[in-house]
């Protein structure tokens, strides 16, 4: 193994302290994007959905493993967020392949779901010169619904989940904008109307 590969292994998989299973599980979520797309393109939507379900479940498993092993870290959280963002973008591709014509039927919902978060980040940067991703309950619920969107549509046979998810995600982004305008900085605040201690206020 080259010095570069050893360094990458220590930084991502081992974090300098031996194998970190939580990071491997996180990375597997990104890796499973490829076979999911391959199965959809090959015309095997049910098999693709099963692989997707395994991939989506790792979003719960990696955090649990990190806490269980006592090796939670800022790097692990950043890696998880990066893979989540990649996986979220892939979800759009999965839906477009699994449901031909869905872009025409639910254009606004898809824009809110997949363009809205990018627009929010741009707005947070313009307002405070930093990217702020708050862990509101609404944001957590929106992320869960987004990851469950394809399975829910497949199980119920209904595309009504798309506008429902878009409404939740859109309202959550607006809630975060309100919190920023109120001077909020605490990324772990439960909601947009949470108290703002002066020590945590954002400076203009």
Helices first, then strands: H and E counts in the chain: 10, 0
Among 153, 89, 78, residue whose Cα is nearest residue 118:
89
Report the C-alpha gap between 86 and 81 in whole angstroms: 9
Report the C-alpha gap between 29 and 123 in whole angstroms: 29
Domain-by-domain residue ranges, the chain?
Answer: 99-204
Q: Could you list the pLDDT tens digit for every one of the 204 residues in the chain?
A: 555 455 555 656 555 555 567 788 889 999 999 999 999 999 999 999 999 999 999 988 877 777 776 666 677 777 888 888 899 999 999 999 999 999 999 999 999 999 998 999 999 999 998 888 888 999 999 999 999 999 999 999 999 999 999 999 999 999 999 999 999 888 889 999 999 876 544 444
């Amino acid at each position: 193994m080259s010095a570069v590969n050893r360094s990458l292994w220590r930084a991502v998989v081992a974090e300098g302290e031996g194998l970190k299973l939580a990071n491997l599980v996180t990375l597997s979520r990104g890796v499973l994007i490829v076979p999911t797309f391959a199965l959809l393109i090959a015309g095997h939507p049910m098999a693709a959905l099963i692989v997707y379900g395994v991939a989506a479940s790792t979003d719960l498993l990696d955090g649990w493993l990190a806490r269980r092993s006592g090796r939670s870290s800022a790097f692990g959280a950043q890696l998880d967020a990066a893979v989540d963002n990649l996986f979220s973008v892939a979800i759009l591709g999965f839906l477009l392949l699994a449901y031909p014509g869905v872009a025409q039927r639910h254009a606004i919902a898809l824009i809110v779901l997949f363009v809205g978060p990018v627009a929010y980040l741009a707005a947070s940067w313009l307002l405070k010169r930093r990217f702020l991703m708050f862990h509101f309950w609404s944001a957590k619920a929106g992320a869960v619904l987004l990851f469950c969107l394809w399975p829910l549509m497949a199980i119920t046979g209904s595309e009504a989940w798309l506008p429902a998810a878009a409404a939740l995600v859109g309202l959550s982004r607006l809630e975060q904008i309100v919190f920023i305008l109120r001077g909020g900085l605490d990324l772990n605040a439960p909601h947009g109307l949470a108290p703002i201690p002066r020590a945590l206020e954002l400076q203009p």
